[in-house]
Structure 1
Amino acid sequence: DDQSRAIVTGLQELGLLEDGAPDLEMVHGTTAATNALLERKGARTALLTTAGFADVIEIGRQNRPHLYRLHQARPPQLTPAALRFEAVERLDANGAVLTPLDADALEQVIEAIAAADPESLAICFLFSYRNPRHEEQAAAAIQARLPHVLLSLSSQILPEHREYERTATTLVNAYVRPLAARYLHRLAAALDNRPVRVMQSNGGAIGIEQASVEPARLVLSGPAGGVVGAFHAAAQALEDPRPQIMTFDMGGTSTDVALCPGEIPRTGESEIAGLPLRLPIIDIHTVGAGGGSLAYVDPGGGLRVGPESAGAVPGPICYGRGGEQPTVTDANLVLGRLDAAHFLGGSDAVRLDVAGAHEALARLGAELGGYTAEEAALGVIRVANATMERALRRVSVEQGHDPRAFVLMPFGGAGPLHACELADALEMRRILIPPNPGVLSALGLLMADVAHENAQAILRDATTLAEDVGFLQEHFQRLAEQNRAILRQEGILEPRLEASLDMRYRGQSYE
């Protein structure tokens, strides 16, 4: 369903879209790009790459995510083999031209692309991060012939080494770009083109136009707002500008956790829907356990909870919208952890069906071997908690951090309901619950800076850079001007610029 409808309806009920209403500036967190990737419901996308490298995206890194499985299952590709095209051209590792871009061969490829009728196209040539000229020439020719096709160039999306990661990231951007662009422009039109910014995965906000061009930066848009809001709220509540917290954001379908050791954790390496995404994001770990997670008995007679979810429609059984399978929310209701008489503040917007939830949990208990509804509900909660406890351990203990040194900050629609048991399991001594945990992510959107990040692979040793500081300054000035131009469109005339180097020891890698 169109997420923008809920936004517009909410603003209308608040009277913020009426004539004479105060000026409105909105910041939006969206899962549109994320859902398109996870459900493989993005645009029909083609890939144009250097001759001989069309299968880079399928070969990948030869990783085995499930080491002991006899039969490995690959996630479906974003673009099938029939939509991968090759251009005759070649650069060397320094960006020098070995084979010029063959214009005649390119014309034939463009005709083949036109016949395939893609909605979006990713262009990723070998070593284009050193020299983008061939990608730009190909893009110009394609745009002249196919002006309706949206283009994503790897030299613009991710001008860094490692062709598989660069190809995958560019392809992700191309795959979600048409859907994200339509959604964001539809939202802007519904709001009569009032100013709208979108939360990015790195914790900063950006305008709709830039977000529509680089939607790959939005894949963790919603969860990122939660971490930003939790960090700033904790800094105020604990009177510490560098709070040591573990965020625990439990919603309807999933739970997002992050460890903040005095700062918001960020990384440039992540994975989404089985593909590497090499763009700056907040370091968040997600598991499929939420209030809507379905509880069931597996063929072996064991109790399972999630990752399948009842979603918003039909939702948990207690919502009375046609749900038939018990969820974590139903279990919390049966155990008395939800007050049916004052749900949603007693607004009567949703009346909880206590009897329906109790009946469903009773059936589940019978399937498990003769347990009562309350015993089955307690089992559901314990299984869900075990999944979320593993997530919290993943970002703390497995990364060398002692969870006892951190404050647990639960939020989201269901977070505080499970916080005490999780804190007890991790021997955490303090829990900080915000006054309105269900909207803390929205608060984070309002507190986020307008930001944009870009990068450039240099691949020089430190000694050479120290001897030629001008080379580094030249790259910095070029990247800084790119950022200034983007932020200028957002009304930021004098942005604060920060630069960093990603360095490694000699011999640490093979490039």
Structure 2
Amino acid sequence: MSTLLGVDVGGTFTDFLLWEDGAFRIHKRPSTPDDPARAVLEGLDELGAPPDLVIHGSTVATNAVLERRGARTALVTTEGFRDLLTIGRQTRPAIYDLEPETPGPLVAPDLLFEFTGRLAPDGTVERAPAPGEAAGLLRAAEAAGAEAVAVSLLHAYANPSLEAAFAAAGTPLFLSLSTEVSPEYREVERTATTALNAYVGPVMSRYLARLAEGLRTRGAGGLQVVQSDGGAAEVERASRFPVATLLSGPAAGVQGALAVARDAGFERIITFDMGGTSTDVALCDGVVPTRADVVVAGFPARTPVVDVHTVGAGGGSVARLD
């Protein structure tokens, strides 16, 4: 019989649920924010049972955005669109706020690059790029100290060939192409999603590499990472598209809660998932609720997510009367 291990790394505790010999074992230990993989591996050592498969709910990508600990990221846009993320859609979430606070840019001004090649809305090449231009921009980004590069060209969803030139050029940097990350129209959301993917890419890929190696040396089997839509992905895909894991932890909680409720005969439920630092709530009307986008720390991401509402208070929060 297969041995399965579910691991959820939260801000306060790391929780383990081991399915072995037809029975569950529960384990908990403090999280290690400096290296989340350490708590997972130490907990596995304490359980003493190398699983055949580890399914992991992760907050690494989320925390990298919230704490602004992502990679130094460059952005390549079509010529004339370098300020796309700064301008955005000119929306005002708090319309009556006279001094609104906006998040600082994910991409520093000195890491904004323009590409002369341009596509028409139907995907035809309106202006061809200069020979070797893609490779030159990648070298320039590397020379400027970038760890990751996001490429989001106008109308690229209709024709991926111009962005594909960047992949063909080769680079040691983490490369995030909008035609792979979010191949849809709406250039602001597509570019923001691609930039977020690049921003958290090196952090997430290094973390998963350490975790996968630690599991391998302990005799564990495969590793899958819960996605924001409640599904699971292999390490290679989760490393390439970490933006899809921004709500990994909360999504796993909703999936599990609905499964338990169904076993008890309930289809319509409200899930309440309280951790040490935050609380997640979702309304399930027979299915796991999803939506097509999410905003994390003020940055929009066009990626499928479980529709969860989060409150910044948990079991370890301290309330006081002011």
TM-score (norm 2): 0.86
SS for the counterpart of 1:126 is coil
Partner of 2:119: 91
Amino acid at match of 1:5: R
Q: Please give the secondary structure, in 2, of the residue aligned with 1:247.
A: strand
Structure 2 counterparts to residues 133-152 of structure 1, below 5 A = 133-141=161-169, 143=170, 147-152=171-176
Pairwise mapping of residues 72-471 of structure 1 onto structure 2 (< 5 A)? 72-103=100-131, 105-106=133-134, 108-141=136-169, 143=170, 147-192=171-216, 194-238=221-265, 240=266, 243-297=267-321, 302=322
Q: Determine the C-alpha separation between the residues in 1 that align with 2:105 and 2:255.
A: 33
Residue of structure 1 equivalent to 2:41: 8
Q: Distance in 1 between matches of 2:57 and 2:135?
A: 41
SS of residue in 1 equivalent to 2:300: strand
Partner of 1:440: none
- Asked if the contact 2:151–2:176 (Cα under 8 Å) also holds between the matched residues in 1, the reply is yes
CA 1:190/1:111 → structure 2, altered by over 3 Å: closer, same or farther?
Answer: closer
Aligned residues of 1:50 and 1:87 also touching (Cα < 8 A): yes
Q: 2:31 aligned with 1:31, yes or no?
A: no
- Work out the CA distance in 1 between the residues paired with 2:59 and 2:134: 36
Bigger fraction of residues in strand: 2
Aligned mates of 1:108, 1:185 — CA distance in 2: 29
Quote how far apart the aligned CAs of 1:104 are: 5.3
Larger radius of gyration: 1
Aligned equivalents of 1:26, 1:82: Cα separation in 2: 41
- Aligned-partner Cα distance in 1 for 2:303–2:53: 27
Pair 1:65-2:57 in alignment:
no
Structure-1 separation of matches of 2:107 and 2:278: 27
**C-alpha contact (below 8 Å) 2:141/2:149 kept by paired residues:** no
For the 8 Å contact 2:184–2:190, the answer to whether it is kept is yes
Does the 8 Å CA contact 2:135/2:166 hold for their aligned counterparts?
Answer: no
CA contact (8 A) 2:142 2:173 kept: no
- Return the match for 2:74 from 46, 61, 64: 46
Displacement, 1:99?
Answer: 0.3
RMSD of aligned C-alpha atoms?
1.4
Contact 2:134 2:165 in 1 (8 A): no
* Percent identity for Structure 1 against Structure 2: 49
Letter in 2 for 1:280: P
Alignment check: 8 A CA contact 1:87 1:102 kept: no
How far is the alpha carbon of 1:64 from its aligned partner? 1.1
Alpha-carbon distance change, 204 to 108 in structure 1, aligned in 2, over 3 angstroms: closer
TM-score in terms of structure 1 length = 0.54
- Per-residue deviation at 1:296? 3.7
Q: Please tell me whether the aligned partners of residues 16 and 24 of structure 1 are also in contact (alpha carbons under 8 angstroms).
A: no
Whole-angstrom CA distance in 2 between matches of 1:111 and 1:133: 20
Q: Cα distance, 1:106 vs. partner?
A: 4.4
In structure 1, C-alpha distance between the alignment counterparts of 2:141 and 2:58, rounded to whole Å:
31
Which of the pair has the greater relative contact order for Cα pairs under 8 Å at 6+ separation?
Answer: 2
CA distance in 1, matches of 2:244, 2:142: 28
Deviating more after overlay: 209-218 vs 108-117 = 108-117
**Mind listing any 5+ residue stretches in structure 1 that lack a counterpart?**
18-22, 303-511
- Following the alignment from structure 2 to structure 1, what is the Cα–Cα distance between the partners of residues 42 and 276? 21
Q: Which amino acid letter does the alignment assign opposite residue 186 of structure 1?
A: R
Q: Following the alignment from structure 1 to structure 2, what is the Cα–Cα distance between the partners of residues 133 and 108?
A: 17
CA deviation profile, 1:210-261 (whole Å, cap 9, x unmatched): 11011001011111111000001000112x5xx1101111111111111001
The offset of 1:203, in angstroms, is 0.5
Q: State the AA in 2 paired with 1:78.
A: L
Displacement of 1:109:
3.1
SS at match of 1:206: strand
Where 2:164 maps in the other structure, the secondary structure is helix
Q: Offset of 1:294 from its aligned partner?
A: 3.2
Contact 1:50-1:89 within 8 A present in 2 as well: yes
Which consecutive residues of structure 2, in runs of 5 or more, have no partner in the other structure?
1-33
Q: Secondary structure at the match of 1:295?
A: coil
Per the TM alignment, residue 196 of structure 1 is displaced from its structure 2 partner at its CA by: 0.7
Q: Following TM superposition, by how much is the alpha carbon of 1:11 offset from its aligned partner in structure 2, in angstroms?
A: 1.4
Q: How many residues align structurally?
A: 286
Shift of 1:6: 1.3
Letter of the 1:287 partner, please give it: V
